[in-house]
Amino acid sequence: MNNLLPGQAEAIAEVNALRERISRADIDTMSLLLGQAYTHHAWTDKPVSNASLKDAYDLAKMGPTGMNIQPMRLVFLRGEAKETRLVPHMLDSNQTKTSAAPVTAILANDHAFYKNMSRTFPIIPNASEMFSNHKSFAYENAERNGTLQAAYFLLALRSVGLDVAPMSGFDSDKVNKEFFEGTEVTVNFIMNIGYGDSNAVYPRLPRLDFEEISQLF
């Protein structure tokens, strides 16, 4: 093939090598990520290493975002910092489990994500101006892509053997003031992370069927 972009030959080789090794995830991997994974409400004492969190992020960051904007930002909290700065801003019903989780992550979105675009999207010089000059467009894209990245991160945490519990029951104004004042970062949701106590999972709630939610043309 002629006129390849810089790095494109390596990308093609990587895709082809992967296809030769594997064509789909095995059933156990699918179960670990989604099929038999549950939201956890209580936690064992087993600690979570920073290395596991980094491993999960290093996988999640490979998930696609529009124009590679990568707006997700993470704050990880343990111990005293979590107890004093975050737990008081959680809904009452979320406080005990948030205190008990070995780590709690604030998943946030940086609405000034475009400041990185000369590095993350060099293909179009000045691409950042598409967003810096249109704040509502920037907001919409930060929310959409930050939520996608948060979902990639949730699944990546499960892939390294961790359990998770996402939560939207908290006072977002207070969390934003405590952690992000003076920035363009705002909280998306909060997630407990650890090795779950399986005795406390809830029964599975009904999921909508493919036939109910899809239109096939």
Ligand X SMILES: Cc1cc2nc3c(=O)[nH]c(=O)nc-3n(C[C@H](O)[C@H](O)[C@H](O)COP(=O)(O)O)c2cc1C
What's the CA gap between 79 and 84, in Å, rounded?
A: 9
Span from 13-21, 62-70, 163-171, 209-217 in contact with ligand X (CB under 6 A): 163-171
* Closest-CA residue to 196 (of 101, 87, 57, 55): 101
Residue placing its CB nearer to ligand X in the complex, 67 or 105: 105
Cα separation values, 12 from 4, 8, 18, 197, Å: 10, 6, 10, 43
Residue placing its CB nearer to ligand X in the complex, 65 or 94: 94
Residue placing its CB nearer to ligand X in the complex, 63 or 166: 166
Q: Of these, 17, 205, 208, 213, which contacts ligand X (CB under 6 A)?
A: 205
Q: Are 168 and 14 in contact (CB under 8 A)?
A: no
Span from 10-18, 46-54, 162-170, 172-180 in contact with ligand X (CB under 6 A): 162-170
For position 168 contacting ligand X by CB under 6 A, the verdict is yes
Residue with token string 């789909």: 24
Closest approach of ligand X to the CB of residue 155, in Å: 12
What's the CA gap between 111 and 132, in Å, rounded?
A: 9
For position 94 contacting ligand X by CB under 6 A, the verdict is yes
Size of the site for ligand X (CB under 6 A): 12
For position 39 contacting ligand X by CB under 6 A, the verdict is yes
AA identity, residue 213: I
Beta bridge partners of 165: 192
Span from 45-53, 111-119, 165-173, 192-200 in contact with ligand X (CB under 6 A): 165-173
Closest approach of ligand X to the CB of residue 189, in Å: 5
What's the CA gap between 57 and 15, in Å, rounded?
A: 21
Q: Are 108 and 73 in contact (CB under 8 A)?
A: yes
Q: Of these, 32, 33, 38, 87, which contacts ligand X (CB under 6 A)?
A: 38
Binding residues for ligand X (CB under 6 A) = 38-39, 94, 166-169, 189, 201-202, 204-205
